[in-house]
Amino acid sequence: MELNEIRGKLLTLLTNVAPDIEPQAVEPDRDFRDQFDFDSMDALHFAAAVSEAFGIEIAETDYPKLSSLRGAGEFVRSRLPQKP
């Protein structure tokens, strides 16, 4: 899966978790906590959504990697099976 495709999917998951976020306003490098006042419950909801949508295991210690759109995109790509 291409990084752009992953990001698009992540944006949808993000706005599902927090319907008050405007998808076009998301700054890819900025931490969600700083950008949207994400709290621990939002972070957990996002991690659960990502884990389910992409079928990947996410340990609690991986949460910091999911804290921005770019970080989350790279994390998901690194966990998805590589193309042959």
Partner 1 sequence: MKIEFRLPSLGADMESATLTEWLKKPGERVRHGEALVTVETTKGLIDVESNDDGEVAELLVQPGTRVRVGAVLARLEVEGGAPLASATPSPPPGPPPPPPPLSMHPPAPPSPAEGKPPGGMSGRARVSPAARRRAHELGVSPEALEQSAAGGIVHIEDVERLAAQRMAGAGDARAAMRTAIGAAMARAKREIPHYYLGHEVNFGPARAWLARYNLKVPVKNRLIETVLITKAVALAAARIEGFNGYFRDGRFERAPSVHAGAAIAVRGGGLVAPALLDADRKGLPTLMEDFSALVTRVRAGHLRSGEFSAATITVTSLGADGVDVLYPIINPPQVAIVGAGAIREQPWVMDGRLVIQPILTLALAGDHRVTDGRAGARFLRTIADLLVHPEAL
Residues that bind partner 1 (CB under 8 A): 17-21, 33, 36-37, 39-42, 44-45, 47-48, 51-52, 58-60
What whole-number distance in Å separates Cα of residue 55 and Cα of residue 23? 23
**Complex with partner 1: residue 27 or 39, whichever CB lies closer:** 39
DSSP result, 10-24 = HHHHHHHH-TTS-GG
**Complex with partner 1: residue 16 or 78, whichever CB lies closer:** 16
The burial of 18, by beta-carbon neighbours within 10 Å (0-12 exposed, 13-18 middle, 19 or more buried), is given as: middle
**Complex with partner 1: residue 6 or 17, whichever CB lies closer:** 17
- Name the minimum Å distance from CB 20 to partner 1: 5
- Name the minimum Å distance from CB 65 to partner 1: 14
